[in-house]
Amino acid sequence: MNIAAITKNGVYIVCAVKELDDPAPNFLIVYDIHTGLLFKKWKPNTNTICVAISSESKVVINSCEDCYIQVWDLTTGSCRFTLKGHRSPADIISQSENGQRFVSFSKNGIENTIRLWDVSIGSQLACYTPDSCITACVISEEGERVALAVKGRETIIALSLKSYNNAHSNKTPSIYGSEERQGITFDVSKSG
């Protein structure tokens, strides 16, 4: 669980906090690190499982115990989107460098699906369900590629998002990395 996150530029920090002796769900607070002042505060209807924050896209993202993901506007404080799709609360949110996309998944093994979202339109772009539990994941800078590790598997799974326009165009898709390595499975279980 990641119930605190800091912006890439180090200006803001978001935390999910709970007041002592209060049965209400935890809430989100954002502080300006440079001044130490409270910047924003939100009280979602259910407990937050994990959070992420981006000064690039000006959002705070929280995954809730009711399986929804909320995208909050860092400037206005309003909820931009409530995203649906998970059957189990996502306990991991990983954002692209530009803050426009993020992946969410659960390491608990109840739901093995990883979902890719776009924060600018509040929409799921893709989902992938491996055979077993996801143990680690990273999203590329622009949010079009995802690499993940899966329990019991010695190789990394690399995924690329293909847009509808790219899938139906006559253009040859660009090759990522070295062309002679396309389609090769790499064994990462051995060092050296």
**Residue 4: is its pLDDT beyond 80?**
yes
Count how many residues are written for the chain.
192
Identify the sign of the CA torsion 51, 56, 57, 58.
positive
* pLDDT digits 0-9 by tens, 148-158: 999 999 999 99
Residue with tokens 């995203």: 83
For residues 114 and 16, give the distance between their C-alpha atoms in angstroms, rounded to a whole number. Answer: 23
Strands of 9-142 (E only): list them: 12-17, 27-32, 38-42, 48-54, 59-64, 69-73, 79-83, 92-95, 101-105, 114-118, 123-128, 134-139
> Could you tell me the two tokens for 97?
């460098």
* pLDDT digits 0-9 by tens, 35-59: 999 999 998 889 999 999 999 999 9
pLDDT of 170 = 47
Identify the sign of the CA torsion 75, 79, 85, 88.
positive
* pLDDT digits 0-9 by tens, 120-179: 999 999 999 998 999 999 999 999 999 999 999 999 999 998 764 444 444 444 445 556
Determine which helix (DSSP H) or strand (DSSP E) holds 157, and give its type and residue range.
strand 157-160
pTM of the full predicted structure?
Answer: 0.81
